[in-house]
A and B are shown apart, each in its own frame.
Chain A
């Protein structure tokens, strides 16, 4: 299944209409194994719509999504997990009445490898909690965690499913500066352990510092794609984010 020439994620001319309005229009891109691929865009650019379609939460009006060449368009989330594609939520959704450990244990049980044994699932959960840096909170109820820790739990849960591709939705939203830096460090570690990451973020600085490749969306269309340096110097991107330069004629 894994072939170096076939992208882990390939999106082809994907489009989604809400009523008559195209939230995402004809967007195509590829994510290669081992990358952190980011996409950014101003509010209303269609980031969340695009993300939801890839994560199987929303059906595209047209276009195809493939993973390792296999068509996964409209495949539902619990099946995507089995294919090695996991997501996190922008607004964290822990199982509040469970402990932190149990939260991650659920993911280990139902993840790609579908661990049946309780002991094995716990062991995997502890391992993942440690790599996410929240193993000391294992036996606390998930509801008492701070926002920063809940975001880490959200990532730990997704990681415990043993994904090949991790879809991260605005994981730095609401975090302090130092928490953001730690979170980005965590993303790099995840990539270095062999998981490909697709990362959506509002914050340009966060995304340019961590991504290998970036796509910019504006009004539902792809505006630019390239390395962080390329994106930062792209005239169209600067205009979309900062507006056009005043020419002096007022």
Chain B
């Protein structure tokens, strides 16, 4: 028996299917603005792609490596402000987005180096503290306009589709990273850390550097998402991009979709992206309460999220036949 014969025929079919699905989805999403050319619909999808990106990024750290962070607004906000400042200094958007990735990754190291000395719930608590501290600093920072926000002036004509495709491309890149990583050395190391950190270390995984690395990768993706958002919105303020609710949104999506899976965060991102505005518009005062309740319900009744629930239904349906 050799390594390849371990893979059965059924697995090969599943592999083929999971290889085709992302390409079909990508093609469909790329064609969508031509089928439904409504600016409002295109805008909704644009923001959804950014949420999907952040959701996938959070899942790399929270889902694969098991390090729950309540501080992703830091990276989203840092990315948004980096792009905003650079674009106003005359930098082209693409290098500005790259700079957002670098800034967010560097900030992730500043957060991670002390915070990953803590394990389990203490890491999560530390991220809340750091995230709030950053928000307060940004609210009082003079050169970015403080609490009143910062305006971006782009001396190029506004083309909505350009924004749409940059967000779609970003989400596709994030998905590709997540899908390729999950069965590769890096991804297996992360999952080993989540399942038993000490046993992983006893097999040669360095948990500390691995956590720092995936944190930086997740931060970079989230930072670009923040940058793409800032360019589109043309106005950002600390209460928005650095707000605690942004961290909660980013964490909620992979939990809704199915934590620790490749498709879960994508699914969660789409569901959240599409209903979020509706919820905020209908319940402006209590929308965070709704999210909190939802979070508790999912953790209590279906920790696997939508994907876990669908899997159960599917097995039950097949079992009855």
- List chain A positions with a Cβ less than 8 A from chain B: 55, 57, 76-78, 81-82, 86-87, 89, 93-98, 101-102, 105-107, 109-112, 114-116, 118-119, 121-123, 125-126, 130, 135, 138-139, 157-158, 161
Contacts and interface: CB of A to CB of B under 8 A. Distances in A.
B195 A135 contact: no
A118 B205 CA distance: 16
A77 B201 contact: yes
Q: How large is the interface on B (under 10, 10 to 19, 20 to 34, 35 or more residues)?
A: 20 to 34
A118 B198 CA distance: 23
Nearest to A92: B199
A126 B203 contact: no
Given A110-B205, A161-B203, 7 more contacts: A78-B202, A78-B206, A95-B199, A110-B185, A110-B204, A118-B185, A135-B1
A134 B175 CA distance: 35
Given A78-B201, A78-B205, A97-B195, A119 B1 contact: no
A87 B202 contact: yes
5 contacts: A77-B198, A82-B204, A97-B191, A106-B188, A106-B205
A95 B1 contact: no
Q: Which 9 A-B pairs have the closest CB atoms?
A: A110-B204, A81-B204, A93-B199, A123-B3, A95-B195, A109-B185, A107-B203, A122-B3, A78-B201
B171 to A, nearest CB: 25
Contacts of A76: 201
Nearest to B205: A110
Contacts, number: 88
A149 to B, nearest CB: 17
Interface string B1-14: 11100101000000
B6 A101 contact: yes
A125 B4 CA distance: 12
Contact of A121 (B1, B185, B199): B185
B184 interface: yes
Interface of B: 1-3, 6, 8, 183-185, 188-189, 191-192, 195-196, 198-207
A93 B197 CA distance: 10
B6 A157 contact: no
Given A95-B195, A96-B195, A119 B3 contact: yes
B302 to A, nearest CB: 17
Given A76-B201, A77-B202, A109-B189, A126 B6 contact: yes
Contacts of B199: 89, 93-95
A106 B192 contact: yes
A123 B7 CA distance: 12
Contacts of A139: 6, 8
A92 to B, nearest CB: 9
A23 B185 CA distance: 39
A161 B205 CA distance: 11
Contacts of A105: 188
B3 A126 contact: yes
Contacts of B202: 55, 77-78, 81, 86-87, 89
A110 B187 CA distance: 12
Contacts of B204: 78, 81-82, 107, 110-112, 114, 161
Nearest to B199: A93
Nearest to B209: A78
Contacts of B191: 95, 97-98
B2 A95 contact: no
Give the interface centre of B6, B191, B202, B205 by most chain A CB atoms within 10 Å. Answer: B202
Contacts of A112: 204
B31 to A, nearest CB: 33
A150 to B, nearest CB: 12
Contacts of B205: 78, 106, 110
Contacts of A119: 3
A102 B195 CA distance: 13
B200 A106 contact: yes
Contact of B198 (A93, A101, A158): A93
A135 B1 CA distance: 9
**Chain B CB within 10 A, most for which of A82, A105, A109, A130:** A109
B207 to A, nearest CB: 8
Contacts of B200: 95, 106, 110
Contacts of A115: 185
Nearest to B8: A139
B6 A122 contact: yes
B196 A93 contact: yes
Contacts of B189: 106, 109-110
Most buried by B among A110, A135, A161: A110
Nearest to A157: B203
A87 B220 CA distance: 36
Contacts of A94: 199
Contact of B192 (A81, A95, A122, A123): A95
Contacts of A130: 1
A101 B7 CA distance: 11
A124 B82 CA distance: 46
B278 to A, nearest CB: 35
A57 B199 CA distance: 11
A82 B196 CA distance: 19
Contacts of A97: 191, 195
